[in-house]
Amino acid sequence: MRRVVGLVIVAAVATVAGVLVARPTASTPALKAESVAVSIVEPTSTTVRPDVGATGATAAPLTGPFQVASVIGTRITVAKSPGGELLSELTNPLYTLPLVFLVKSAGAGDWLEVRLPTRPNGSSGFVRMADVKVATVTTQVLVEQRLRRLTVWDGGRLVFETPVAVGKPSTPTPTGTYYVQGTAPMSNPSGAYGPFILALSSHSDVHKTFAGGDGLVGMHGTNQPGLIGQAVSNGCIRMPNAAATQVARLVAAGSPVVVVP
């Protein structure tokens, strides 16, 4: 049966429906971003992180570069195998963002195997090369939950590092290899999402719906910086607002995001 997927993030520049963020309440008032000092480490673009694979590190970055497939038309069909049975049909834009896929493999003939921004997490399918435009990206994000650390890599070199908050035990941040669907600036940079949100291809395994949309996982800023470094979110990856601005500037749509425990 044909399944049309067109979940919505509403008005990305204003409010993001469905992304996993908790609103401040009377008992947990919003904190101003400048009220807590958070140290952000930003090595130069030529600095290679020395501790990967050594004490403290929990994972190493992927080997790039990476291919990203941008959808040309207003919708695209996804097959279970090259030229095979229909898996789904996706709309473009998706969540108000231009629809992109992270290429998983070359597939066969005129087909590409791509990672999908749909449930279940880790889904993949095949799209026709004629329906997409393929480009190369060199950036990627690594999130080490145990260390509460997010790092940005470009061409195998560390370019940015920041502490983060991750999902609490009851609503964990999904682990796996995903990608950035796109970046949305927020109309209220002092709000719950901070100045930017980077929508990921992953979804909460707990929240099937959230705030009027799907339980989409994102990386974003926060108006509660005192919680950075803790496991407190509904599944999203929170970071200081200054860090969210930097990550939004550095990371291209389609860039891989690897989340490890």
- Note whether 238 and 124 are same-domain residues: no
> What is the domain extent for residue 168?
4-61+138-260
49, 148, 203, 220: the active-site residue:
220
Sequence-ordered list of residues with C-beta below 8 angstroms from that of 250, at least 6 positions apart, any chain: 139, 152, 154, 159, 160
- Note whether 73 and 98 are same-domain residues: yes
Give the C-alpha separation, 211 to 18, whole Å.
5
| Domain termination site, one of 92, 118, 137 | 137
- Note whether 11 and 106 are same-domain residues: no
- Note whether 80 and 183 are same-domain residues: no
- Note whether 153 and 246 are same-domain residues: yes
Per-residue pLDDT of the chain (261 residues; tens, 9 = 90+): 333 232 223 223 333 445 664 433 333 233 222 222 233 333 333 334 444 433 477 899 999 999 999 999 999 999 999 999 999 999 999 989 999 999 999 877 899 999 999 999 999 999 999 999 999 999 999 999 999 999 999 999 999 999 999 999 999 999 999 999 999 999 999 999 999 999 999 999 998 765 666 789 999 999 999 999 999 999 999 999 999 999 999 999 999 999 999
| Domain termination site, one of 87, 104, 137 | 137
- Note whether 57 and 93 are same-domain residues: no
Residues 205, 174 contacting (CB under 8 angstroms): yes
Residues 16, 218 contacting (CB under 8 angstroms): yes
- Note whether 204 and 250 are same-domain residues: yes
- Note whether 152 and 236 are same-domain residues: yes
Give the C-alpha separation, 116 to 23, whole Å.
29
* Cα 196 off chain centre by: 12
**Domain CATH for 158:** 2.40.440.10
- Note whether 21 and 142 are same-domain residues: yes
φ and ψ at residue 51, rounded to 5 degrees: -100, 5
pTM equals 0.82
The question of whether 207 is a catalytic residue gets the answer no
- Note whether 226 and 152 are same-domain residues: yes
The question of whether 220 is a catalytic residue gets the answer yes
- Note whether 248 and 144 are same-domain residues: yes
79, 150, 216, 236: the active-site residue:
236
| Domain termination site, one of 110, 137, 164 | 137
